[in-house]
A and B are shown apart, each in its own frame.
Chain A
Amino acid sequence: MPAQISTLFPALVFLSMTAALWAVFLYVPTEREMGLVQRIFYFHVPAAIAAFIGFFLVFVGSIQFLRTQQARWDRLARCAAELGVLFSLIVLFTGPLWARPIWGVYWRWEPRLTSMLILFTIYVAYLTVRSYGAEAPQTQRFAAVLGILGFVNVPLVYYSVHLWAPEQQLHPRQVELSAEMQHTLYLCFAAFFLLFFYLLQRRMKIEQTSDALAQIRLDLGDEP
């Protein structure tokens, strides 16, 4: 990657994040009902979307890997899964911290948070399979199968959890956002997407280099 672009990207991420933070803390007015704590919303929601993008990429990578057997798809799945887990963690941390002052408790078994937790466990299982398995094509295939099944499960998880706890709908259903709030939210979406793809690109580079080095070692006659 040309040097200019490789420094441009992180700079862009940094700038967008700074802008997002400015918007969240200085630009947008405090919400009436929930007060200061509501500002968590602006990072909590984009993090959730980013996690989903991650899981979707795992799905795509897994399918493509099984179809084409090309290593780069497996790399995509592996890296995207890590990021999906990372951003889910952000959601699972910020959610309770937002909940405590508003609902009075850190955790309530309400639909969206519970669904996110279940998805989190599915993808942690995915990462576990990858780390416990040997560096073999078989592990990659197993992981790909998991990646496909896991994502297909997403709508089922959501639907079943919603049926389970409809009365606990503590997440606001219809949110009325003022213009400033919308601007802030979109800015945060942009910042998070940039962050996501920056981390993904960097993580993919590591895997690419690692695989290439392993191949070189193999060619030189080393033990793998």
Chain B
Amino acid sequence: MSFTARTLAILHKDILTEWRTKERLSSMVFFVLLVLLVFNFSFELGGFALHEIGPGVLWSAYVFASLLGLNRTFATEQANNCLDALLLAPGDRGAVYLGKMLGNMLFLLVIELLSLPFFALFFNLPVGDYLLPLLGILILGAASLASVGTLFAIMSGNAHLRELLLPLLVLPMVMPAMISCVEATAEVFKQSRVEMLFPHLQILGVYVVIFTTLSLLLFEYVVEE
């Protein structure tokens, strides 16, 4: 089987699995909603310009939700030692990483899109007007979280303090991407000229490319016995 074929096979499997149960999906969307609620109570709603703190709140909610979701990346494989079986399959094992990464990315993107209406509701921001530029940011944001998150998920997989270790690893590493997401989103809500978005999108693009490539290359070392 070619690299691409294997990657798509894993992606397809994960999509199917998730689609049948939708358990992760609904819980995570609900989690984003709860985080948005908590943030709303933390700030005096009348006081702040909501469009100023909105982007930050939105991406914080996404990041926290993604940490929960990423923890489960290899959960289905760990039961019954499926992961070993996957890794034993002939050929480049990077396909396992890439398949999982794309799955996570797609998954995060769906979560982001489904939570957007709640965000628009609580923050009175006409998100619908900005959907197109926002989509680009959402995709890049999901990709950046998925790129390192997937790698770290397998690294912390069997660790003693797995749930604590994953955020500890992911959050620092993902900061440049998150800062850029927040800034880009802020520019979108401020209705700035498109050129204002470019530097942030640039960083995001570079981040995704570099970290996906590196994770792909280093995946071999992570799963080595």
Contact = CB atoms under 8 A, between A and B. Distances in A.
Contacts of A132: 159-161, 165
A77 to B, nearest CB: 14
Interface stretch (A39-47, A84-92, A145-153, A195-203): A145-153
B46 interface: no
A142 B180 contact: no
Given A141-B224, A163-B203, A153 B155 contact: no
Contacts of A122: 172-173
Interface of A (DSSP majority class): helix
Contact of A157 (B151, B176, B200): B176
A145 B151 contact: yes
Given A125-B169, A128-B168, A145 B180 contact: no
B221 A118 contact: no
A125 B156 CA distance: 12
A145 B155 CA distance: 10
A161 B173 CA distance: 13
Which among A128, A152, A156 has the greatest number of chain B C-beta atoms within 10 A? A156
Given A122-B173, A146-B169, A160 B151 contact: no
A152 B214 contact: yes
B222 A160 contact: no
B164 to A, nearest CB: 9
Contacts of B180: 160, 163
Which bucket holds chain A's interface residue count? 20 to 34
Contacts of B218: 66, 145, 148-149
Contact of B171 (A121, A141, A156, A161): A121
Interface of A: 66, 118, 121-122, 124-125, 128-129, 132-133, 138, 141-142, 144-146, 148-150, 152-153, 156-157, 159-161, 163-164
Complex A-B, nearest 7 residue pairs according to Cβ-Cβ distance, in ascending order: A160-B176, A121-B172, A156-B176, A122-B172, A160-B179, A145-B218, A141-B221
Interface of B: 148, 151, 155, 159-161, 165, 168-169, 171-173, 175-177, 179-180, 183, 199-200, 203, 206-207, 210-211, 214-215, 218, 221-222, 224
Given A121-B171, A156-B210, 17 more contacts: A66-B221, A118-B176, A122-B172, A124-B172, A125-B168, A125-B172, A128-B168, A129-B155, A132-B160, A141-B221, A145-B221, A149-B148, A149-B173, A149-B211, A160-B177, A160-B200, A163-B199
